[in-house]
Amino acid sequence: MPIPEIDVETCAAWMAGPEADRPVLVDVRTPGEFALAALPGARLAPLHELEEHADWLTPLRGRRVVVYCHHGIRSLHGAAWLQQLGVEAVSLRGGIDAWSLRVDPSVPRY
């Protein structure tokens, strides 16, 4: 089954909506990448450590969850893993790089 993806404009609209409807943002990049640039309110759970973060990821069942990375490849894997936990996660197509290009140019590109 393909992993659902959303574009950065849809994610921005969700983030601008009512607080109760805003997505949980899960960043699956490395701590170094996260330090360079991150989306507001995102929580870091590096892809290679996702299993170690299951304690706070599993309770996200029933919430809107957007997984992102640099360009959208690692986030597909992260969203797939979360779906196996029963979390209805989507991947951010184009990642934080697309966010910087199309939504918020103040987010550094690297």
Dihedral (CA of 70, 74, 75, 76) sign: positive
Q: Report how far apart, in Å, the C-alpha atoms of 101 and of each of 9, 28, 51, 98 are.
A: 11, 20, 31, 5
Which one of 69, 76, 79, 96 is the catalytic residue? 69
Token pair 């992993």: residue: 3
In a 3-state reduction of DSSP, which class is residue 37?
A: coil
Tell how far CA 61 is from the center of its chain.
15
Q: Does residue 69 have an active-site annotation?
A: yes
Residue numbers annotated as active site: 69
